[in-house]
Structure 1
Amino acid sequence: MTDGTSPIPHVNGSQALATARATLHIEIASLHALAERLDEPFVAVVQAILALRGRVIVMGMGKSGHVGHKIAATLASTGTPAFFVHPAEASHGDLGMVRGSDLVLALSNSGESHEITDLLPVLKRQGVRVAAMTGNLQSTLAQHADWVLDTSVEREACPLNLAPTASTTVQLALGDALATALLDARGFQAEDFARSHPGGSLGRRLLTHVRDVMRSGSELPRVQAHDDFFTLMREMSAKNLGAAIIVDANNQVLGIFTDGDLRRRLEQGADLRQASAQDLMHPRPRTIAPHVLATQAAQMMEQHGITSVVVVDGANTLVGLVHIRDLMLAKVI
């Protein structure tokens, strides 16, 4: 430890790596031991939470509190209503957040954190059930909890065997195990996850459909099959999407003409002035339905090296056009 005036200690690289590896090996061994001893109490907690009418209230002091914040957030984002209540604040009014229909998930390695144990009688009087994550099965918390999940470790990864390291890793991993067991039991899908993450990239990819980003109505560059080359070019220029869709009188999609098609025709020396849109179009363009996820349109563009996809209904009637710029603006890609 330096006070700002003492020289910075020289790092022994070999020793630093050895200490780091030892830390990881201890924590890995602790996780293996945790996995082997998971048994019926874990299943009982999962079942109790699945049947819960209220919420999971996570509590913990110190490092266990920091882990508890993360566990509550993971539960909430995977379909289990949950939030963290600080035990010390609970004694000064925040216990009003807890209802009899809730379940408290209490984290304490020693099982003797008085901020938590002092709450146990009050929680019992309210009819709140308690699931304990503790490394001390003989502790006050373990003796008064409805379920006990054993988070004991053989030793901390700290060289002094003092700082919470392996024990907090085990708590964190057990919280993840609880969350994943619950989401699996509920049949929680990626779409459900996205609904609780609407502002993130996953939410945008899983909640944005083609109909949400496509051009439609007067924004669509469309011409009739009999329209001439100049009409075709004016429509492409006016809509500025690098393409025009060719339709028949019933708005059925016949083909598409793009900037790339124009370039290739000119390179071939073709005289386009007398050609109609039907003469120039690329028939059977790539199409997609409006209800499909926008990510599928992006995949189609990437797979076929194109920048736009025609949107049609089940009868091949033109509905819209989705352009790569639309997907980028929506942050789908």
Structure 2
Amino acid sequence: MASPSAAALHGYSLIDARQQVWLPYDVEREATANLRPLHEYQATQHAGRQPFRLDHGRLRTLHVLNGMGVALGDSIIGISALAWLKAHHPDLHIHLYRARHAPRYVEALYQLASPLLQQVHYLPQPLPKLDADAALVDLADIVYWPQFDDTPMIDFFLSGLGIDPARVPAASKANDWLQSFDLPLPAKPWRHSAYLLFCPRASVPLRSIPQAVQHTLVEQLWQHYQLPVLGFEPLHHPHYYNVAALSPDTFHFLSWVRGASLLVSTDTAAVHAAAGFGVPTLAGFVSIAPWLRTRDYPLCHSLDLRLPELNGLHHSDDKALEQLAVHQWRDGMSPDALKQVKPRSVHR
């Protein structure tokens, strides 16, 4: 039998000759041969291949491969879908199977969310054992699914779990599961002081706020809000404070977001965390349609900074496109935009 092409191995969980299940994310980091799509061996529910709905009330166990992705922002949103599912089916045992090479700062989030989950397993592992009361859902390699580019992320994850997104109210799509857990307080002197949090760095340069405009933006933020600006990047400004050394892990990062009077960011995990904590947010999007990320965040004012040349891109190495993004940020972060978001009073 001919080996499948590399393209055929994208978008699915995989199985090797020893019947071990792999995720493409790990395969890219380890030399592994003789892999085939898992669905050739085992019946799986895969919304990217065929939309489906599950009657979770009749299930005893749900196995989720690549639940809920390897990025921090995706995971915050994906766990919201699990939180809704667990709230409505408290006896359902949810097992997540994750990439063993996923970043540690992402895995910390799953430690925080452990009360919502039955168990987290790290692949490769033997095939999960299924019975009549169990289902196996495949969420592997989601960036290769067509729905990933045209569906709001929370609806994408709900559909991927076999849930009709229309059943879930908007109030349950804003990541408020984050409020259920204890986090450290911000370090002094910010523990009892108001501050604006500036998070310009996304996972790729194209979606980040360019360094060429960061100083100008911080000055605009200071002039308009008269609040000290905190962030995790080195940036020289008399009213900017780099608190990266005071944020050694995911729990402290979330604490800084939770304690902010206002967040200014781009397409980052901080935006999704801020929605969960009820933090007013100003977020700019140069390549992804804002409604795909912030539709259900009532306290987030989204700036649509897209141009046709940038629209739909998740990343790019084209310096000309990155320069277009610089111009969009310079023009888009106007005084009128800042007027759309008011800081909250924070009582800690």
Is this a same-fold pair by TM over 0.5?
Answer: no
TM-score (norm 2): 0.28
Task: Name the structure where helix makes up a greater proportion of residues.
Answer: 1
Question: What TM-score do the two structures reach when normalised by structure 1?
Answer: 0.29
